[in-house]
Structure 1
């Protein structure tokens, strides 16, 4: 016969055992809770930008974070994601600039709560340059953005003609989501332009009796011409004086646009038969030659009042202004003399080096 032996515990021993069990459970739970909500679980020495170009699974995300040195253990990340119930993570741009807990970080990616990116459009740029700059900062490629701003149907909805687009690519820094569409980003630019230019200066457009396209076209020439921003209103006033007198603008930047190069112009360049060559064709060119900044647009809207009709460059990068052609010829001769001296110095320097 086999006898069963029972180990009997006193009440104190039983209570002690329960306490030990509860303490163990608490320690394990507290450890897991601490790991899950550790405020420094996701961290790096410098800010790290994470780009998910599509919905991403846990395996790919953990590898990406490990490659970026944001986590020490892929297994622990997967454990945390399992506890939190996150399996898929939304496409987008996410910035890690401060240490984060698993809970905060994984929830952010799973819900697709993106961090915006900054896109800066500089003034005085060509359409191709701007397209490239924008595409390098956002998810869409340059071809997609180029097709958008060349789409006649889309432009018609914006009350725009293709020749006027570059003038509407308003210089500014835009804070947008990386996954924004080309159409939505262009609409954002147009809205910023309308707010800063059209709505803010509507009365002045009416007083000048000029369209937005005309003002932007003149502003684009001023943008290209003026190295010194303080001269913009004076240059604008000179161009308006010539237009109001029926004179040709004779603006060098329009010739640069016609020949497709921004360089010192040659005599034969002025003879290029092109609708943007204001040495051959009267009035404003058909459209803007670049994207003017707000100061250039204001210069076109609020020109300086004077009697200047001519200007020529000066050695300091500014301009010498004249009211008569005779005065202009004298100042032009001084400019040519200075240029010839610079060429002479350059040739002597090259000769010595050789």
Structure 2
């Protein structure tokens, strides 16, 4: 009888322990454990992060970090941290959270255009992925990479085709650069390469010319006409005489840093620079800004015409007047210069 009571007591104790264990497991695994009011929150786990790094980010997001710790240890997450950007949805339990931050790296969409330099592009990208701007600049300007892929420091920016791309947040600088090389090669289809060949330009030269066209006009419907003017000049050996290249050369000089040149003057045309297309015939060494795809395609699909000159149109701002003769061009140019003077723009 005494033994029977002992066995009954042990059985009851076992049931209590089992019930407590089941309750603990329920709380640890299946009870909602988020403490934020928004629909979701993101955590960013750096490369080579420790569990403590993850825990620090989770602390303000969870109601009970201790129960999360217990389950993370049981599921061996503490020794299997994965870098990336992860989502935690409101009402998630610890089991769901661990599954999410273990295997559901969420990509981000990166868009860029109109970046004037590699440094500015790196700054824009570095604010969106784990790699910082310094690491990106070093990767983008890596001499062995550039040489291997037929680029140099003057043409490097042309490898980055403006568009929207998906990346994982924990993308490294080298990974970003290498992916953009693949996108560059994908952009240069056989059809585009054939069109470049037909005008005796390499892809980098097309982009260099497109950067000038883009700086001359943001109007996509006019860009093929401007591209045609410059290609006409190249065909006959006439200097491009492109004002945007003069501004680019001027901005490289210390005295013009942090200034805005609104009017190209004769003094600017005397700057001794390979980007001075008034002094030196042919294309400059590289692009002067990142052109839109519309400008690249405008060069490849330039409009055939007899124009060799153009000047900004004072009566239709943003557009230009085109001329076949220097005499007519001078008339158009003087009209625009008078407009600038009436606006008080003298430099």
Q: Which residue of 1 aligns with 2:249?
A: 258
* Structure-2 change in CA distance of 1:197 and 1:185 (3 Å): same
Alignment of 1:71 with 2:62, yes or no, is: yes
Q: Which residue of 2 aligns with 1:289?
A: 288
Partners in 1 of 2:118 and 2:48 — Cα distance? 32
Residue 71 of structure 2 is aligned with which of 51, 69, 80?
80
Q: Which residue of 2 aligns with 1:101?
A: 93
Partners in 2 of 1:85 and 1:146 — Cα distance? 38
How far 1:151 sits from its partner (Å)?
A: 2.0
Do the aligned partners of 2:86 and 2:100 also contact (CA within 8 Å) in 1? no
Computing the radius of gyration from Cα coordinates, the structure with the larger value is: 1
Determine helix, strand or coil for the equivalent of 2:77: coil
Cα displacement string for residues 61-114 of structure 1 (whole angstroms, at most 9, x for unaligned residues): 333212xx3211221221222332322353523232633332232234345x52
Do the aligned partners of 2:28 and 2:68 also contact (CA within 8 Å) in 1? no
Partners in 2 of 1:217 and 1:7 — Cα distance? 95
Q: Which residue of 2 aligns with 1:92?
A: 83
Cα displacement string for residues 145-204 of structure 1 (whole angstroms, at most 9, x for unaligned residues): 222222221212223222211111211222112222222211111111111124441222
Q: Which residue of 2 aligns with 1:318?
A: 319
Determine helix, strand or coil for the equivalent of 1:297: helix
Query: Once structures 1 and 2 are overlaid, which stretch shifts more, 294-303 or 18-27?
Result: 18-27
Determine helix, strand or coil for the equivalent of 2:222: helix
Equivalenced residue count is 334
Counterparts of residues 48-63 of structure 1 (less than 5 Å): 48-63=41-56
Determine helix, strand or coil for the equivalent of 2:282: coil
Query: Once structures 1 and 2 are overlaid, which stretch shifts more, 94-103 or 249-258?
Result: 94-103
Partners in 2 of 1:106 and 1:75 — Cα distance? 14
Counterparts of residues 185-200 of structure 1 (less than 5 Å): 185-200=176-191
Do the aligned partners of 1:238 and 1:308 also contact (CA within 8 Å) in 2? yes
Residue 132 of structure 2 is aligned with which of 132, 141, 163?
141
Partners in 1 of 2:189 and 2:248 — Cα distance? 26
- TM norm structure 2: 0.84
Do the aligned partners of 2:87 and 2:101 also contact (CA within 8 Å) in 1? no
Structure 2 unaligned runs (5+)? none
**Aligned-pair RMSD on alpha carbons?**
3.0
Q: Which residue of 2 aligns with 1:45?
A: 38
How far 1:312 sits from its partner (Å)?
A: 1.4
